[in-house]
Structure 1
Amino acid sequence: MTAMTPEEAVRHVVATDPTFAVEEVEIRGVTFKAFRNIPGTVPALMAASRAKQGDGALDYLSYEGESLTFDEFRGHAHRIAHALRDDLGVRQGDRVAIAMRNYPELLTAIMAISSLGATVVFLNAWWTTEELDYALRDSGARIVFADRPRIDRLSPLKDGLGLTLIGCRDGEGQGDHDYRALYDAAASDAPPDVAIDTDDDFAVMYSSGTTGHPKGVVQTHRGAVNAVFSWLMQSVVAPLVTPPEPDAPEPPRPSVLVVTPLFHVTATHPVFLLSMPAGAKVTLMYRWDAAEAVRLIRDGNITRFLGVPTQSAELSEAARRMGETLPSLDYIGAGGAKRPAAQVAAIAETFPDAGVATGWGMTETQALGIGMIGDDYKARPDCAGKLHPPVQELRFLDDAGKDVPPGTLGEITVKSPANMRCYLNMPEATAETMQDGWLRTGDLGVIDEDGYVTILDRKKNIIIRGGENIACLDVEGALHRLPQVAEACAFSVPDERLGEIVGAVVQLRPDTSLTRDEMARALEGHLASFKIPALLWCQQEPLTRGATDKIDRRALRAACLKQMEETA
């Protein structure tokens, strides 16, 4: 077989494979490109995936020695759906919340709720009672699936909000109903008979919200399934771009390890939802532990790993420590944040059989966006990759909303059916972000003539030093080159002469030290002199993180500035 370029392969697949045929559709008065022949809803996606899962007979969901076949998983979801409708009165359009760690019940609850045409409300399992109170008031959800720690936090809200709590795992016996009792008493394990429109709401998922309350991102069924098939298409395109050897064995069944919270889009969409039509097995971890992840991947022949950058770095370190190369891994991706460029080659060296990948997406795009893998990524470790075809469109805009040419800094702006419907109860924020189907992401970057996108920063994370714009990610990427630095965060520091100067806080690796002068000397040649931090704070403990496990830049900046003022 003659190798095709990626662009040729995409055109070939769209033209010849009916699964990935594309058409123009009108959604809320705006014309989009969308897949023509895919399932219209998330429950339909589950039903259509049965053939890919060995006609339902293959082991599908694994957790701590427990296992469900795909048909058993579907049966669980359908039984809980009937219980929600018959016993608790849940109807189409209602919102039902989930608040728990990554248990199997979280996945069956997602499918049970959506099978009724109700909307899944994902509650962050790390939230406090006050934060849970906001999201429940905002969403109007009154039924919550929860484990024991979340029930403890929800209990003070129960009477005031009229909550019905369904206890799961260690939460059984603590709420109004037990998951197992609802399952046992359900009338049927057949799919509920509900007519769900493809543009109905599938989920409300809360964004990180670095200021004020988080925004409830309303996602539709059409958006979720179009995102899933955009990723699925990559597995069809890949062998056309890099044809296998004639005598190459059949690739193993895909198998994914879920290591990030399922209340975030990185785990729900490109891992869980994609697993169904990909014919993949899903393994859940009780909590993140790098050495345990190495053992699970090795013993379970897991092929796919997608986590935040710190997790892939920790996995790599643990594997080296344990003398493991994990040959079953063919994909090791990073989402949620940019992986430091210095880590790319090291991870590729540790896992020689895996394609090291990066991706950019948002809760607002149902995780669909930009990415690349393998040699492309190793050659461009600072880059985010190319736009995932074929239903997305991409523009780079200036502050006035005008397109900028390739190579010029602009705001990444995307259009696809995967884009959110709105921010819940926030019409002004929705209007600011969504314009004629185009989503203003707030991320700044450049695109080159070949279509590779480099993300330089969030729009609000630019340091302006004497008129020069400095991207925080640029500074952080350089700091990650230093052997003493485990994590880094850059931010602006007020300066009377220049307006702002660069400050940074770093977590040091064990038994190391770093002064500001040592840092400055080490960065010479890697950063322009005006970008090198003028002020440096060092600490041994991990950097402060927000609700989505991303570094909390604002909190770190405030703490460092306060320390500076107290010292002065």
Structure 2
Amino acid sequence: MISIFDQDLPRVEANFAPMSPLTFIERTAEVYPDRLAVVHGSLRQTWEDTYARCRRLASALQRAGIGKNDTVAVVLPNTPPMVEAHFGAPMAGAVLNAINTRLDAETIAFMLDHGEAKAVIVDPEFSLSVKKALALRKATTPLLVIDVEDGLFTGGSERIGSVTYEDLLAGGDAEFKWDLPGDEWDAIALNYTSGTTGNPKGVVYHHRGAALNAISNVLEWDMPKHAVYLWTLPMFHCNGWCFPWTVAARAGVNVCLRRVEAQAIFDAMRDHRVTHYCGAPIVHGMLVNAPAAMKEGVPAGVKAMVAGAAPPASMIEGMEQMGFDLTHVYGLTEVYGPATVCAKHEAWDALDIGERARLNARQGVRYHLERDVRVLDPETMQPVAQDGETMGEIMFKGNIAMKGYLKNPTATAEAFKGGWFHSGDLAVQYADGYFKIKDRSKDIIISGGENISSIEVEDVLYRHPAVLAAAVVAKADAKWGETPCAFLELKAGAEVTAEDIVAHCKQHLAGFKVPRTVVFGELPKTSTGKIQKFELRARAGSAQAIDI
């Protein structure tokens, strides 16, 4: 029997509209047309201008035959065309595929083929690698190649497309009447995981999830109107954690940055009075360890967001000395970037740095608009005891989760088994509901039958004053099966021996958890600063290491 609350109360255009982050730029351009939207070198672009350019892009793409559910790939750094693509492509009904600019030509070719790209927008810095990728494509369908020209790029390049980005926009309509998606479940973006074995998986985002995570970013940071956001985080990484849409929602300023370098970051912070930025631990560590003279005049109160490895005490202390406020978040590509936050409590301010670091190192609690995050036993799918010791797998449920993996129903079904998204991260949960990652399931070291969390060992290594970056992986051992192998990147000018590192670890860890092997040198990292453990695992058996 129909309910009285449904009878004659239909969902119609007047009372329901699909959720989409495209509405954010529309509103901001209407309300704050003259506010600054984009900074890039000498370029100053308002929200009215930016919205018009996005509409021109959408119009031009449609005129080129690109429409609903067609893929538009981009190989761009954090420049204005990358900001515009996050709105212009979906305004045309298309799906944006922002490709990691550090990938090799073969992988780019795979993504263009697998995602069935109809167009690709290319920055001059990456034209040669994309040219090689185009030659490696297996697909025979036409691909519109669009060349971006950027006066801030001074290296060598060549045009590989049939039209420049500005000429394409010139042929578009600044008053283009774009439509919201017919269904908020429609795809808005395609992001490929950084697969360590085999081909990467294509993660499909929907309009609803993109909008909700963009607004969650605002809520987690109490992000004010007209915030000035510095693009240290690559926009190709989980669509910049949805911040292109977040900044539009707040009528903020996108301060573009082609390269992530300490001097350029501090200069931008001073010149544009930056209020917010995001990055992997390596980015924040780079700023903390920069020369004092480089930091002079940097505005106090900058809000920084860190994801990846938990921020060690030395990083938290260093950020506080600069007057920066650090927020720790956690997520994966499959959940639109960060989807949990270590929400801080005022009472923590009175604690010593060690205790604050311990509390802030936790991955925290769910984002405002995520339905649920739990640590579950993957066999029984029941919550583990909230005792800070019982290990389970972090699982997500709700609107901030991908549609699934493109053309991969088996992997999609496996990821959503039991009605939850399985992260693959192992964690414990505490009495207050906060959880802390102990390891990836593949990163647990089993030594003499005992489980060793590589993250626990890394936390201790980061406490050593000479250590800039640390990663621990398993090394085969004839007696114990596996033992911890520590790879360390030291701070500039620091001098320390393997024996010093081991002695430090023995003060804080049980004997079987102490690294038996120590390797010094620069650690391999992804474009987002994430340490590539798969490469270190390969090195562990062959690298020249000091065994203790």
TM-score, L = length of structure 1: 0.84
Find the aligned partners of 1:152 and 1:356 in 2 and give their Cα distance: 38
**Which of 112, 116, 119 matches 1:136?**
112
1:113 partner letter: A
Indicate conservation of the 8 Å contact 2:393/2:422, yes or no: yes
Indicate conservation of the 8 Å contact 2:282/2:529, yes or no: no
Gaps of 5+ in 2: 1-14, 151-156, 349-355
- What is aligned with 2:35? 58
**Which of 516, 529, 539 matches 2:498?**
516
1:156 partner letter: K
- What is aligned with 2:459? 477
Indicate yes or no: 2:285 matched with 1:313.
yes
SS in 2 for 1:369: strand
Indicate conservation of the 8 Å contact 2:519/2:546, yes or no: no
Indicate conservation of the 8 Å contact 1:148/1:168, yes or no: yes
- What is aligned with 2:472? 490
Find the aligned partners of 2:112 and 2:239 in 1 and give their Cα distance: 22
CA 1:166 to 1:514, structure 2 compared with 1: closer, same or farther past 3 Å? same
Indicate conservation of the 8 Å contact 1:254/1:280, yes or no: yes
SS in 2 for 1:361: strand
**Cα offset, 1:192, TM superposition:** 2.2
**Which of 504, 511, 524 matches 2:486?**
504
2:520 partner letter: C
Find the aligned partners of 1:264 and 1:471 in 2 and give their Cα distance: 27
- What is aligned with 2:229? 256
Indicate yes or no: 2:132 matched with 1:156.
yes
The superposition leaves residues 328-357 of structure 1 with CA deviations (integer Å, 9 ceiling, x where unpaired) of: 534111124433343112211221xx3211
Residue correspondence of structure 1 range 428-507 to structure 2 within 5 A? 428-435=410-417, 437-507=419-489
1:405 partner letter: A
**Cα offset, 1:266, TM superposition:** 6.7
Give the stretch that moved more between structures: 454-463 or 506-515. 506-515
Find the aligned partners of 1:563 and 1:322 in 2 and give their Cα distance: 36
2:259 partner letter: R
Indicate yes or no: 2:109 matched with 1:123.
no
CA 1:129 to 1:235, structure 2 compared with 1: closer, same or farther past 3 Å? closer
**Cα offset, 1:422, TM superposition:** 0.6
Find the aligned partners of 1:139 and 1:158 in 2 and give their Cα distance: 14
Find the aligned partners of 1:379 and 1:472 in 2 and give their Cα distance: 16
**Cα offset, 1:548, TM superposition:** 4.4
Indicate conservation of the 8 Å contact 1:465/1:498, yes or no: yes
**Cα offset, 1:524, TM superposition:** 2.4
- What is aligned with 1:209? 195
Indicate conservation of the 8 Å contact 1:305/1:329, yes or no: no
**Cα offset, 1:156, TM superposition:** 3.5
Find the aligned partners of 1:38 and 1:60 in 2 and give their Cα distance: 26
**Cα offset, 1:62, TM superposition:** 0.7
Indicate yes or no: 2:412 matched with 1:414.
no
Find the aligned partners of 2:493 and 2:209 in 1 and give their Cα distance: 48
Find the aligned partners of 2:473 and 2:29 in 1 and give their Cα distance: 49
CA 1:288 to 1:180, structure 2 compared with 1: closer, same or farther past 3 Å? same
**Which of 285, 294, 308 matches 1:322?**
294
Find the aligned partners of 1:37 and 1:303 in 2 and give their Cα distance: 35
Indicate conservation of the 8 Å contact 1:301/1:328, yes or no: no
Indicate yes or no: 2:349 matched with 1:370.
no
Indicate conservation of the 8 Å contact 1:158/1:164, yes or no: no
**Cα offset, 1:413, TM superposition:** 0.4
Indicate yes or no: 2:61 matched with 1:84.
yes
1:282 partner letter: N
The superposition leaves residues 167-218 of structure 1 with CA deviations (integer Å, 9 ceiling, x where unpaired) of: 0115784311111111112234333246532110011011121222211110
Q: Percent of counterpart pairs with the same letter? A: 27
- What is aligned with 2:8? none
- What is aligned with 2:154? none
Indicate yes or no: 2:35 matched with 1:40.
no
1:303 partner letter: T
CA 1:66 to 1:501, structure 2 compared with 1: closer, same or farther past 3 Å? same
SS in 1 for 2:205: strand
Indicate conservation of the 8 Å contact 1:341/1:381, yes or no: no
CA 1:99 to 1:276, structure 2 compared with 1: closer, same or farther past 3 Å? same
Find the aligned partners of 1:221 and 1:436 in 2 and give their Cα distance: 24
**Cα offset, 1:366, TM superposition:** 0.7
TM-score, L = length of structure 2: 0.87
Find the aligned partners of 2:180 and 2:534 in 1 and give their Cα distance: 45
The superposition leaves residues 406-459 of structure 1 with CA deviations (integer Å, 9 ceiling, x where unpaired) of: 122110001111100011121111111113541100111111111222111111
User: CA RMSD of the aligned region, Å?
Assistant: 2.5
SS in 1 for 2:509: coil
Gaps of 5+ in 1: 1-35, 239-250
Indicate yes or no: 2:371 matched with 1:392.
yes
Find the aligned partners of 2:472 and 2:393 in 1 and give their Cα distance: 20
CA 1:486 to 1:409, structure 2 compared with 1: closer, same or farther past 3 Å? same
